[in-house]
Structure 1
Amino acid sequence: MNREEIKEIPKEQFEPAPIDHEAGERLEKPQLSFMKDAWLRVRKNKAAIVSLIILALIVIMAIIGPHLSGHDGYEQDVAKSNLPPRVPVLENMGIFDGTQKVGGEEVNKYEQMNIEEYYWFGTDSLGRDLFTRVWLGTRVSLYIAVLAAAIDMLVGVIYGLVSGFKGGRTDNVMQRILEVISGIPNLIVVILMLLILKPGIMSITIAMVITGWVGMARVVRGQVLKLKDQEYILASRTLGAKNNRLLFKHLLPNLSGVIIINTMFTIPSAIFFEAFLSFIGIGLQAPSASLGTLIEDGYKTFQFLPHLMIIPCILICVILIVCNLIGDGLRDAFDPKMRD
C-alpha cells in the first residue's frame, strides 16, 4: 500500500464507535422463573426424562391395559389354569409361544388343551388372565402413590407450615403430637384398623392418613424455621402483610422444591408398603388384585411357574426405580448447589 492510498482513507474511520448505553444494559437472555430454570435442568438429566416417559406409559397401561386382552380379570376358568404366556408374532420367534416344561419335556399347553385364545402373561391357578390382573394391580399401586402424594401435600405441608411459623408453645404442642404419632409403627396402625374394618384398601388408606404425613411435616417445619426470619419475610411483615399471605405467598413458593422432592421419595415407600401388606395377607384380599397379592400367589409355585411371580415383581421394581430416578433428578434440579 503506497502513501497515496493511505491519504485516501477518510478520517471518520479513525473515530471511536458511538456507545449505545441502552444496548449495553439490555439483557439478551430472557429471565427465567425458578420453576422454568429447574425444568431446564431436569431436561438435561436423561435418566429422569426416560423415567418420566416410562412412568407415563405405566399410567396409560394401568388405564387401558385391562381392556386390551379381551379377558376379564376376575372370571375364573379352572380348565385354563396355569397357562404359560403366549403372544402373537412373538410365538413365531420361539418366545412366549405357550410352551412349558412338564415332566422334563417341552409341551405346548395351548395345543395340548386345544385353546385358540391368547393369554399374553398366562393364567393363574384359577384360570384368570394374568395380563389383566397385573394392570388392575398396578391401578392399586398408582392409587397408593396418588394418596401418599395428596396426604403429604395437604396434611404434612400445612401442619409443618403452621408449626414452624407459629413457634413457641404452639410449636411445642404440635411437635409432641408429632412425636407420639411417629412413635407408632405403620404396621401396628394397620393391624388396629383390621380390628375395626375388614382387611382391604380402606384400612391401608386410613393407616396412611394417620401416619403417612409425619416425615413431610418435619421437613417443612425445619425449612420454615430457617426461612421465616429472612429479610424478605421481615420486609413483608413490616409492610403489613398478614400471616396467610406470608405463609402461602412467600414461604410456600420457596418450599416448593423441598416439597416436590420429598413427595417423589415418599411415593415408592408407600407403594412398597401396600405391596408388603398384601403379600403378608393383611392388605387387599381375594379376589381383588394388587401387585402384592399377585406376588404372594406366584411365589407358592415359583419353582414350576416362575412367570406368575416374575412379571408383577418386574413391574413393581420398575415403578420403584423410575420414581427414585425422578426424585433424584428433581433433587438435582431444585438444589442451588447443583447448578451448572
Structure 2
Amino acid sequence: MVNPIKRIPKEMFEPKRVDESLAEKIEKPSLSFWQDAWLRVKKNKAAIVSVVVLTLLIIMALIGPYLSGHTVQQNVEHANLPPRIAAVADVSWLPFDGTLKNRDGAILTPYEDRQITESYWFGTDSLGRDLFTRLWLGVRISLFIAFLATAIDMVIGVSYGAISGYFGGRVDNIMQRIIEILSGIPNLVIVILLILILEPGILAITLALALTGWVTMARVVRGQVLKLKNQEFALASKTLGATDYRIIFKHLMPNMVGVIIVNMMFTIPSAIFFEAFLSFIGLGLKPPNASLGTLIEDGFRVMLLYPYMLIIPSIVISLLMVTFNLLGDGLRDALDPKMRD
C-alpha cells in the first residue's frame, strides 16, 4: 500500500535566525500626553474646522476695522445704505448689490438715488456709520470681555477649588457653603447692583461675569483634587517633605490642565452670550461703544426695513458660539484618556 504522506527532505528546513538587536525595537514612536491629544484632535473634523473659523474671526477682529477704508464716524447722508461689494455687485444671487426691497416688494437703489459712489461692504446704520468696521470692533470688545472674565474665573476658581478639595474637613465645608450662597444669587441681580455703583461698560460687565462665574470652575477643580490628592505621586511628595501649596500647584495642578482647558472653552461662549444679552436689554455697553449685543439690538429695532443690520451680527455671534462649543467637545474627547480609540 502506498503511503499517502509525502516525505519532505529535511534539507529543505532550516532554523529561523533571530536578530537579537531587533528584540527591543519600538515600532511606534513614543508620544507625550499633548502629542497624543493633538493627534486625536486632528481626527475630529468639527474641531479642526472650528479652529480655522475661530482663527479667522480673531484675525478679522484685529485687522478688520482697517480693511474697509471707512471709520465709525457719523455721516447722516450715508444712513441706512445696504451692503454693496463692487467686485460681486453683478452677481444676482448674492445680497451685496446695494439694493433693498421695501414692504411692497419694490426694489430700492439708495446708492444711485443719492449718487453715492462709495461701497459699504456690510452697509451702514441709521447714523451712517460703517457696519463692517463696527462689527469687527464689536467682535473685538466681546472677545476681550469674554477672555478677561474667563481668565479671572480660572485664577479664582482653580485656586479656590484646589485649596478646598486638598485640605478638606472644616475648611472644605466652609468654602463649599460660600459657593452655595453665591450660586443662589442670579447674575442679573449682580449686574444691576454693579451698574448702580459703577458706570455701565466693560468693567461692570467683566466684574459681573467674574463674581459668580468662577463657581463652576471651583467645583470641577475640587472634584479633581479629591480624586488625585491620595494617589501615590502626591503621597510620595508629602513624604519627602513638600509643602501643601507645592503639592497643589506643582504636582496636582499639571494633572488637571486638561479639565481646566476644557472648562475654559465652555466658559468663553457663555460669557460672550451673557455680554450680548446684557447689551441687548440695555444693561451693557453704551453708545458709541459697540459689541455684538449692541449691534443685534440696533438691528432688531429695524429688522423689517433693514434686515441686514440684524442678520450679519447674528451670524457672527452664532459662529462664535458654535465653534467654541465644538472645539470644547473636541478637546474634551482628546484630553480624556477614557476616550482613546
Alignment TM-score, normalising by the size of structure 1? 0.93
Question: d(CA) in 2 for partners of 1:85 and 1:67?
Answer: 17
DSSP-derived class of the 1:179 partner:
helix
Question: d(CA) in 2 for partners of 1:211 and 1:266?
Answer: 12
2:62 is matched by which residue type in structure 1?
I
DSSP-derived class of the 2:86 partner:
coil
Which stretch has the larger CA shift, 239-248 or 284-293? 239-248
How much does 1:100 deviate?
1.2
1:149 is aligned to 150
2:327 is aligned to 326
Contact 2:64 2:133 in 1 (8 A): yes
- Correspondence 1:163 to 2:164: yes
2:181 is matched by which residue type in structure 1?
V
2:175 is matched by which residue type in structure 1?
M
Alignment TM-score, normalising by the size of structure 2? 0.93
Contact 2:153 2:210 in 1 (8 A): no
1:68 is aligned to 67
2:112 is aligned to 111
Question: d(CA) in 1 for partners of 2:90 and 2:244?
Answer: 68
Question: d(CA) in 1 for partners of 2:277 and 2:153?
Answer: 21
1:303 is aligned to 304
* Unmatched 5+ stretches in structure 1: 1-5
2:85 is aligned to 87
How much does 1:144 deviate?
2.1
How much does 1:247 deviate?
1.3
Question: d(CA) in 2 for partners of 1:182 and 1:153?
Answer: 17
Question: d(CA) in 2 for partners of 1:152 and 1:262?
Answer: 10
How much does 1:315 deviate?
0.3
DSSP-derived class of the 1:82 partner:
coil
1:125 is aligned to 126
How much does 1:159 deviate?
0.9
How much does 1:54 deviate?
0.4
- Correspondence 1:25 to 2:24: yes
DSSP-derived class of the 2:297 partner:
helix
Question: d(CA) in 1 for partners of 2:257 and 2:149?
Answer: 17
After superposition, the C-alpha distances for 1:14-70 in whole angstroms (9 at most, x for unaligned) are 2441441x5312323222111111111001001100100100000000000001111
After superposition, the C-alpha distances for 1:58-97 in whole angstroms (9 at most, x for unaligned) are 0000000001111112x11111111000012110112311
How much does 1:329 deviate?
0.2
How much does 1:237 deviate?
1.8
Question: d(CA) in 2 for partners of 1:92 and 1:311?
Answer: 21
Identity over the aligned pairs, expressed in percent?
A: 62
Question: d(CA) in 2 for partners of 1:301 and 1:210?
Answer: 35
Seen in structure 2, the aligned counterparts of structure 1 residues 206 and 148 have a Cα distance that, compared at 3 Å, is closer
1:3 is aligned to none
DSSP-derived class of the 2:89 partner:
helix
Question: d(CA) in 1 for partners of 2:34 and 2:244?
Answer: 24
Question: d(CA) in 2 for partners of 1:51 and 1:18?
Answer: 50
Question: d(CA) in 2 for partners of 1:228 and 1:26?
Answer: 36
1:213 is aligned to 214
1:14 is aligned to 14
Contact 2:68 2:132 in 1 (8 A): yes
1:97 is aligned to 97
Q: How many residues align?
A: 330
Seen in structure 2, the aligned counterparts of structure 1 residues 16 and 86 have a Cα distance that, compared at 3 Å, is closer
Pairing of 1:250-329 with structure 2 (within 5 A): 250-329=251-330
Seen in structure 2, the aligned counterparts of structure 1 residues 265 and 294 have a Cα distance that, compared at 3 Å, is same
After superposition, the C-alpha distances for 1:239-298 in whole angstroms (9 at most, x for unaligned) are 323223321222111111111111101111100000000000010011110110111111
Question: d(CA) in 1 for partners of 2:256 and 2:18?
Answer: 47
Question: d(CA) in 1 for partners of 2:166 and 2:224?
Answer: 10
How much does 1:176 deviate?
1.6
Question: d(CA) in 1 for partners of 2:124 and 2:182?
Answer: 43
Question: d(CA) in 2 for partners of 1:339 and 1:16?
Answer: 37
Structure 1 vs Structure 2 CA RMSD: 1.6
